[in-house]
Chains A and B, each alone.
Chain A
């Protein structure tokens, strides 16, 4: 197994600032916008962005949630791997809100498909946008594209993109792993 660093901590920080600014451009003071991290890995990015928006860009009363999509996935009983559920933390209704889904890597688009179904349990949003740190091109199974992307990556199917966060793995870094 070999791995290559795609983004280091400095690069990630610059990208996060850019993504935060792009969000502000479209959502102003976030009074009608909610940010929802997709479990399990999108939560870290969502939290980081929310922290940056609150501290560096002085956005007040930002609403942040975490959505688990396990029970909405389309591969239940289809793989060897047992699907592990995570907690959903959404203590608000998304009716008529602008929702921004946040995930670390966009690959086949199937998780996003599941998330689009899952969010309906919390109301009918006005619109839904997608933000991903890494967009793996040419690997989509569904017609889904991000509105905000950190970095576009061309990776073949055998390769994996791993995102590590300071809070969880002790470092901010994105690896391209070759098995």
Chain B
């Protein structure tokens, strides 16, 4: 087994195809571990990890924390809401103060794109990006690809459409990089106002007709409309968005094949996806969440193995 080509997980952009395969193979082992009666291994008992969340999160934060604890790492948590950030401390100062308490690894979510890349240049710790603004969310993309691999056997050659608010989505960008790296065909679909202007230059197909997109794909990854990042109106009303870009059982049944439905969460039921679809057998939404822990264990384990004694 080789090792990762990077010391930080800042984005899929910085990874090679063999890194992704190594993460997946390692995650296979951890998936077996987390399905044992006792789900914990002692590998990282001498590693301390700080989870810095400068932006809200439920799933990702819990998933990281669980992954760290299942590896026996010591964990400290930090949320910007209750911190000195409000008192005017800079990001580098905040992190360096935490690191002086002998922390080895930092998992960070931040509202500004590039925050983790910036941090990796100025602090001495391995950084894992848990989402930086509208830029990247690498662990989500890896667990999405891992879930596709688990469901369909392979990612290469599969047709994946990402539907919804592409403009504000870090999940979309990381997914595009990850899927392309593994040889999948990628399409983005959404209202024109929510598709970035030069997105086709990333080598993805662009489609504004939902039915055409669904007919083309093997997998549909549904994204939430990120109202909190919208200062202006990008579409007339939620009702109209749902009519044009929401999926429901009727629409899926009218296709001539069974496609796999994914969603990174949180779901807005009745907006981008109806309950009967979200809870159907075609949806692997909860598998994605379970795989998230195994993928994060693999990433933390592989990065920790590069920390020298």
Task: Mark A residues whose CB is within 8 Å of B.
Answer: 68, 70-73, 76-78, 82-88, 93, 117, 120-123
Contact = CB atoms under 8 A, between A and B. Distances in A.
A70 B42 CA distance: 10
B37 interface: yes
A71 B309 contact: no
Interface in B132-173: none
Which secondary structure dominates chain B's binding surface? loop
A82 B37 contact: no
A121 B39 CA distance: 7
A122 B36 contact: yes
Interface of B: 1-3, 25-26, 28-29, 32-33, 36-44, 71, 301, 304-305, 307-309
B26 A85 contact: yes
Contact of A71 (B2, B25, B37, B42): B42
A77 B42 contact: no
A76 B305 contact: yes
B38 A120 contact: yes
Contacts of B309: 77-78
A82 B43 contact: no
B42 A117 contact: yes
Given A77-B308, A77-B309, A121 B29 contact: no
A72 B41 contact: yes
Given A78-B309, A120-B38, A121-B39, 11 more contacts: A71-B33, A71-B71, A71-B301, A76-B305, A77-B308, A85-B26, A85-B29, A87-B28, A117-B42, A121-B37, A122-B38
12 contacts: A70-B29, A71-B29, A71-B33, A71-B42, A76-B44, A76-B304, A83-B305, A84-B1, A87-B29, A121-B33, A121-B37, A123-B37
B29 A82 contact: no
Contacts of B1: 82-85
Given A82-B3, A85-B26, A121 B36 contact: yes
B34 to A, nearest CB: 11
A68 B43 CA distance: 13
Contact of A122 (B37, B44, B307): B37
A150 to B, nearest CB: 29
B37 A77 contact: no
